[in-house]
Amino acid sequence: MANTKLLMTFPISATSHTLAEYRARGGYGSLEKALRQMTPQEVVAEVTASGIQGRGGAAFPMGRKWAVVHPNDGQPHYLCANADEGEPGTFKDRWILEYAPHLLLESMLIASYALQVRNAFVYIRGEFDQPYRRLAGALEEAYEAGYFGAGILGTDFACDLVIYRGAGSYVCGEASALITSIEGKRGYPRNRPPRLTVRGLYQKPTVINNVETLANIAWIIAHGGEAFTKVGTAKDPGTRLISISGHIENPGVYEIEIGYPFARFIYEDCGGVLGGRPLKGIIPGGISTKVLTAKEIEPLTLDNQSLASAGSSMGSGGMIVIADGTCMVRLLQVLLRFYHHESCGQCTPCREGMGWLHRIIDRIVAGEGRPEDIERLYQISAWNDGTTICGMGDAAGYATSGILNKFRDEFEYFIEHKRSRFNGTLECLKST
């Protein structure tokens, strides 16, 4: 693990997940400040002033989301931390859960105070073992110290938190599917509107934020929203955690200031491509974001506006580095196998389209591809775009069309010669 600039996080140790060490670093001081010196409305105003955007992929301003929840409306309000980190290549939320669980808990308490939430939830990926045990242990410590329950820090604020373990569904990382799962139903996404901040968990106003997004709140309350805007860019302030894997010399989780030079991050901070090979491309924000070539990243900075200019995005902060010599046909096969397996089956375009995409790419790799297969992959991707309840159908199409747009010649070669042009080298993406 390495950090290019520290803001939200702190150096890790064997005991950084414990309450004693978190307190030694000033932990729960922000909660005390919020409860004793600020009104809920002032907390919301400070978060809004920070300009922080969601770190889970959508990049929606947190303050705008919170502002939809009306205080004193006579309804229960709910807060859910989305810890269902299932996007391939993304593992930065896991870092927080394992090494800084009290940072998340304190931030959720402050958010609960601001949003008048009595019952909060963390929906955690079912495959997470140590992250779950660390978070559960931290929650037990926090309860024993009086940070949860009734009369927190001697005030009239009360809050309880439940950790809800998922059962392995990638789709439950989508907000509406997440709350449907908490309700004990099949984890299907819901049609919207109404927005979840209007009618969410148990049909009551619900705020769902990504783990990393929420974990920034304690810092914002301690130092102020204006101080937060001093880091990053004007449109996207703060820092981001980036998890990087694939063909990279130094994989891991890095905290970067938003707006950091993309090429510098890859070649200096992360040590460059594994084995000194040339860089072929990078999937910048989880497999749902479009691949960028080595030439394309040279002028870019790590922020949504810069990456949008190149047709991609920061997404969930999960970078996958692809070395020269990697067969992009086989790489797309791996991605489409994942999407097909994880489709919940609720929407016909996704349920049928994912299988169709998967069967076509399998046929190409088996040496039975047809010249029309490339256009058919494009067609199915377009048919899925905007025709499903959640964004999974769109995401598979973005991944497919993104790779085809940049590396179509490899697909044409595979279909014509019934093999990859890279046989004997790096035929597929291998984790490091």
**pLDDT tens digits for range 284-321:** 999 999 999 999 999 999 999 999 999 999 999 999 99
Q: Report pTM.
A: 0.93
**Rounded distance between C-alpha atoms, residue 295 and residue 290, angstroms:** 15
| CB distance 58 to 286 below 8 Å | no
Q: Among 149-163, 350-364, 385-399, which is the least confidently predicted range?
A: 385-399
Residue 428: band (very low, low, confident or very high) from pLDDT cuts 50, 70, 90: very low
**Rounded distance between C-alpha atoms, residue 240 and residue 18, angstroms:** 23
Written as six digits, the tokens of 3 are 């950090």
Residues 368-394 have a mean pLDDT of: 95
The SS3 assignment for 325 reads coil
| CB distance 175 to 213 below 8 Å | no
Written as six digits, the tokens of 46 are 């400070």
Q: From its phi and psi, is residue 201 left (phi > 0), alpha (psi between -120 and 50) or beta?
A: beta
∠ CA 276-281-287, rounded to 5°: 125
Span 66-96, pLDDT tens digits: 999 998 899 999 999 999 999 999 999 999 9
**Rounded distance between C-alpha atoms, residue 138 and residue 106, angstroms:** 11
Helix (H) and strand (E) counts in the chain? 18, 11
Residue ranges of the alpha helices (H) in 8-91?
A: 19-24, 29-37, 40-50, 62-67
Domains of the chain from N-terminus onward: 19-229 (3.40.50.11540), 239-323 (3.10.20.600), 328-417 (1.20.1440.230)
With residue 355 as reference, give the H or E element that holds it. Answer: helix 348-365
> Would you give the distance in Å from CA 293 to the centre of its chain?
22
Question: What's at 412, amino acid-wise?
Answer: E
Residues 267-295 have a mean pLDDT of: 96
Residue 58: band (very low, low, confident or very high) from pLDDT cuts 50, 70, 90: confident
Give residue 423's pLDDT.
67
Buried b / exposed e along 176-205 (16+ C-beta atoms within 10 A): bbbbbbbeeeebbbbeeeeebbebbbeeeb
Residues 150-168 have a mean pLDDT of: 97
